[in-house]
């Protein structure tokens, strides 16, 4: 099964897209997630065994000869700090907040390792939260490696088993619909949800700051068992999602499970819910949660529970008994061990009761898709499940929250932006990169589109709306609300979009994994410095993006520590983000006219829709014109005289 969308956003079906047999669906996705895990593990192990230290370091996947120390605890777990042996700045690396890290002495295979999660990073150190700490942390040098996520595979497989089980509630209530087996899918999706035991109150949207398309989406979603909401860039899909959740709570429909594929997206949901006064709890390790939201995590709520005093008393009593054990003999020692074990059981029971009490008080539980499969939630059911950024999740990942008892399902996303990240080419070719949202859409389940965008200057919105959204996007912000930024000579000051033609040359990295372009990087540095000179912008207002990690590294190295707060990231890492101005380096410049994965129209859509007040694209127009979507955009640039030749000539 494989479904694709063309550059204009129209779904095209390459193979059979309805699952005639439940067994076929199970076997297909069991195989695909197995391939994905195997390929990921093989890639990690191949790097470990065959890549040189220099190659690992240059790719940012490992750091060597680090010194370590402890630095307090984070919700009860030790924090380990790793720095360069001589102090000073750490070289480039890909260890970011929430990443899984393997800590070892010399090699991650053949020795005992410690796994951890990155808490944060600066130019000089990396802080990692672990379940345990090495006893000899301060001795010798340490190695950090990016690791593979086996937990995600196991939870997706468990969800597939549950989804296809004939026993219990699981995800079977919506199973036939999600497998596209009913004759009339649209009618089946629109049926009212079958949720028993709830006294539903009428929907009341008064006082909510919603536009017409957002209100229509909410009115639709509360009344039917399956709703898909498409949120193009800047249309407020997360805003709509949190108001929908609040509406459902006010109607008496809680508790609700609200999920997303990434921790960032879950945090955005949580933040919006808390601002609206919804009793929301964030489930997951606090280390992966935005610092300002950690008080709303389950761990934080549990730590403040009144019964913690009782646990503390029992622990003190237990410690006192343990300290006297060496003075006891025979029967007395046996009885003391019995009492200690009894106390431990009582502590565990109290901890479970506290956890259940906190979770039961939540109107909305927020977690990642994979986080919903944690054993702590194994006995909890949620009749309503909402998945934000649903088009960035693989189908097996989406099933993890769905099998928590969903009788009403809401999918929020945009299939015309980037799809799920799949590392295995074989798994991608098998269709693992096709999200549930897109498959349902291709089979006739309608999506309610949000149509008013509040992010972009109308000129920036114009091409994406025409090319990807059938000219359906309207402007919720005026030109006067998005004035062009100073520091750059726009070809047309009424249209803050520019293409800077740079006829340089791309360079492929030694590892073959990415590309860079020094000529474009130099122009990026010049443009950013010019933008900052008038004082109209701060570094935090500017986003520098590129499709290639090699170019991201090069630009970061060229800026060094000169501009604090400037973000230089990949296009893929910027989905869901926005800045006052975006500077995009396309990199590709070659005689063959090869554009590589720049040809993915969804990546272009994301790149072109991050800016609020100004968009500057740098590239080789001769190479880019070999792709139809890029050619169309360059034609649009030419039509409105937005070529910035003067930047290069100066």
Looking at the DSSP assignment, which residues form a beta bridge with residue 282? 297, 366
Residue linked to tokens 């990231």: 569
Angle of CA points 49, 55, 61, to nearest 5°: 80
Q: Which two tokens stand for residue 479?
A: 């030109």
pLDDT at 199: 66
**CA atoms lying within 13 Å on the CB side of residue 379:** 6
Q: Is 498 within 8 Å of 615 (Cβ atoms)?
A: yes
Nearest-10 Cα torsion for 243, 247, 248, 254: 90
Question: Closest Cα partner for 294 from 270, 327, 319, 259?
Answer: 270
Radius of gyration in angstroms for the set of CA atoms belonging to the chain, rounded to a whole number: 27
pLDDT at 13: 37
Stretches in the chain below the pLDDT threshold 50: 1, 3, 5-6, 9-16, 170
pLDDT at 167: 55
Burial 39-48 (b: 16+ CB within 10 A, else e): bbeeebeebb
* pTM (two decimals): 0.84
Biggest alpha carbon distance in the chain? 94
pLDDT at 15: 39
Burial 325-336 (b: 16+ CB within 10 A, else e): eeeeeeeeeeeb
pLDDT at 254: 82
**DSSP, res 91:** P
pLDDT at 496: 97
C-alpha separations of 501 from 188, 260, 264, 479, 596 in Å: 51, 38, 35, 26, 19
């Amino acid at each position: 099964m494989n479904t694709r969308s063309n550059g204009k956003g129209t779904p095209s079906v390459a193979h059979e897209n309805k699952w005639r047999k439940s067994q076929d669906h199970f076997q297909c996705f069991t195989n695909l997630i197995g391939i994905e895990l195997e390929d990921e593990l093989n890639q990690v192990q191949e790097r470990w065994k065959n890549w040189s230290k220099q190659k690992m370091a240059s790719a940012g996947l490992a750091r060597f000869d680090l010194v370590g120390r402890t630095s307090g605890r984070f919700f009860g777990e030790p924090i380990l700090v790793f720095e360069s042996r001589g102090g000073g700045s750490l070289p480039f690396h890909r260890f970011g907040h929430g990443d899984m890290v393997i800590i070892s002495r010399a090699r991650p295979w053949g020795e005992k390792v410690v796994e951890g999660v990155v808490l944060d990073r600066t130019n000089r150190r990396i802080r990692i939260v672990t379940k345990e700490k090495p006893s000899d942390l301060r001795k010798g040098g340490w190695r950090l490696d990016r690791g593979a996520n086996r937990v995600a595979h196991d939870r997706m497989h468990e969800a597939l088993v549950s989804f296809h089980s004939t026993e219990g509630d699981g995800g079977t209530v919506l199973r036939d619909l999600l497998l596209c087996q009913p004759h009339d899918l649209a009618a089946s999706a629109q049926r009212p949800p079958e949720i028993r035991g709830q006294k539903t109150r009428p929907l009341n949207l008064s006082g909510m700051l919603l536009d017409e398309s957002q209100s229509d989406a909410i009115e639709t979603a509360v009344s039917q068992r399956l709703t898909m909401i498409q949120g193009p860039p800047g249309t407020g899909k997360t805003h709509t999602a949190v108001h929908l959740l609040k509406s459902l709570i006010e109607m008496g429909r809680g508790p609700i499970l609200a999920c997303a594929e990434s921790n960032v997206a879950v945090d955005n949901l949580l933040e919006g819910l808390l601002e609206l006064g919804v009793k929301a709890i964030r489930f997951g390790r606090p280390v992966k949660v935005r610092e300002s939201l950690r008080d709303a995590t389950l761990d934080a709520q549990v730590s403040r529970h009144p019964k913690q005093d009782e646990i503390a008393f029992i622990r003190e009593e237990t410690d006192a008994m343990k300290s006297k054990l060496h003075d006891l003999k025979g029967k007395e020692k046996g009885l003391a061990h019995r009492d200690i074990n009894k106390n431990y059981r009582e502590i565990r029971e109290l901890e479970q009761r506290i956890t259940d009490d906190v979770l039961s008080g939540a109107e909305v539980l927020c977690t990642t898709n994979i986080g919903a499969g944690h054993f702590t939630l194994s006995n909890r059911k949620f009749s309503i499940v909402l998945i934000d950024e649903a088009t960035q999740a693989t189908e097996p990942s989406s099933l993890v929250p769905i099998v928590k008892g969903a009788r009403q399902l809401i999918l929020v996303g945009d299939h015309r932006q980037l799809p799920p990240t799949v590392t295995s080419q074989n798994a991608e070719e098998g269709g693992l990169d096709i999200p549930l949202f897109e498959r349902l859409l291709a089979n006739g389940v309608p999506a309610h589109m949000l149509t008013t965008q509040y992010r972009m200057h109308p000129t920036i919105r114009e091409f994406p709306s025409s090319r990807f959204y059938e000219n359906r996007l309207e402007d919720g912000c005026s030109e006067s609300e998005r004035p062009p930024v100073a520091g750059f000579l726009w070809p047309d000051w009424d249209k803050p979009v520019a293409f800077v033609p740079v006829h340089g040359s791309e360079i492929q990295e030694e590892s073959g994994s990415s590309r860079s372009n020094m000529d474009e990087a130099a122009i990026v540095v010049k443009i950013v410095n010019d933008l900052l000179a008038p004082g109209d912008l701060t570094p935090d207002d500017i986003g520098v993006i590129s499709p290639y990690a090699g170019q991201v590294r090069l630009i970061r190295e060229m800026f060094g520590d000169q501009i604090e707060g400037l973000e230089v990231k990949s296009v893929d890492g910027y989905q869901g983000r926005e800045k006052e101005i975006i500077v995009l380096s396309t990199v590709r410049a070659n005689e063959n006219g090869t554009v590589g994965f720049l040809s993915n129209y969804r990546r272009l859509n994301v790149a072109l829709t991050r800016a609020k007040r100004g968009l500057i694209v740098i590239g080789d127009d001769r190479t880019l014109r070999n792709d139809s979507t890029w050619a169309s955009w360059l034609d649009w640039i030419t039509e409105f005289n937005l070529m910035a030749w003067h930047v290069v000539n100066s």
